[in-house]
Amino acid sequence: MKASLRTVRLELTEPLRISRSTMAARDAVWLGIEHEGLHGHGEAVTSVYYGLDTDTLQRHLGEVELSRFANPEDALEALRAEELAGGDNTPAAVTAAVEAALLDLVGKHADVPVHQLLGASAAPVAETARTIGITSVRDAAGTARRLAASGFRIVKVKAGAPDPEDDVERVRVIRDAAPGVRLLLDPNGAWSIAQARELLPRFAELGVEAVEQPVVPGDPEAFGALAEWSPLPLIADEDAVDLQDARRLAGRVHGINVKLAKCGGVHAALRIAALIEGSGTELMLGCLTASTLGIAPAVHLADRARWTDLDGHLLLARDPWSGIGGTDGLVRTSGRPGLGVEESGAQGSGTQVLGAEVPGAEGVGHGHVA
């Protein structure tokens, strides 16, 4: 197998402000794997919160050994057995990107879409939330009206402004501007327990359906107690990174936001989904801001979630990939083999070819291939 890395800049249509930061762009590192004339693709994006810059992503992707495998099926099996990643310190986002590229390639080799590889016969279609950042009430109302007119039925409102009354007013004007949409709220851990106890009933009165990570992460006991009291369903995000976190929170919070880039990919997400099934904790599928390539693997899981928040590609000024829709409020798999996505002609910078074609299982080399 031959592999290559390419880095591109993803610019947002407008800066997205949340409680802890404002983002206008981020880098994406694309992994391409070629085998027998077929190509698989995966994406990892930079994140200040998760400590991932471009150099870190490229370095870890370069340490993942693919050259010792004769085919992508064997490499995928090794990855799921935790025998492929470059070590215990491999970021979850890197593991997720490698798995996505291998799933894409395996699906193309078998001529089936990824969701069929995962056991689902029907192509997933799901209503996705669309995010409105911390912004003026005028802009928030205008965006909500446009989204509702485009077909969106779920809006996620970012909260955590210095003055909580600004968040309350923003939700109020969004509710008035788009009375038919379902509202989710996400303070990104900005509130104290005391603030949450004061604010959650007010947001319940405004018709908010659920609140994502209302309080500072790091105290699952306090979060669980707040969820038991809360008049609204509470969904863990920053407090629920991996399987161990999910195990601590299962049955104690109403939902867990699973992002492939933080948990380690599709297989890790399925393990979390199996763990929480029947516990009273439901699955939310979320994402980082990324291209269609980065969002697509989660879309193949969308039929398993109560809440779907896969709008990262919709925030971009120009999405260099296509294939999962979303502009009408629905994300869907295309039915084409693999991830079902296509590049739209963007040319990334810094293309690097790694490794060489492996002719067979015998005499396989041990060079690093990303």
259 is catalytic: yes
Report the distance separating Cα 50 and Cα 288, nearest Å: 11
List Cβ neighbours of 147 (8 Å cut-off, separation of 6 or more). Answer: 130, 132, 155, 178, 181, 329
Choose the catalytic residue: 2, 108, 156, 259: 259
Query: Which pair of structure tokens corresponds to residue 56?
Result: 């870190």
Query: What is the SS3 assignment for 99?
Result: helix
Q: In sequence order, which ranges of the chain are alpha helices (DSSP H)? A: 54-63, 72-80, 92-110, 114-117, 137-150, 164-177, 193-205, 220-229, 243-249, 260-263, 266-276, 292-299
Q: Which DSSP string corresponds to 274-318?
A: HHHTTTT-EEEE---S--HHHHHHHHTTGGG-SEE---GGGGBSS
Q: Which residue has the tokens 């500072």?
A: 216
List Cβ neighbours of 313 (8 Å cut-off, separation of 6 or more). Answer: 290, 291, 292, 294, 295, 319, 321, 324, 326
262 is catalytic: no
b/e 257-288 (16+ beta carbons within 10 angstroms → b): bbbbbbbbbbbbbbbbbeebeeeebbbbbbbb
Q: Catalytic residues, which ones? A: 158, 259
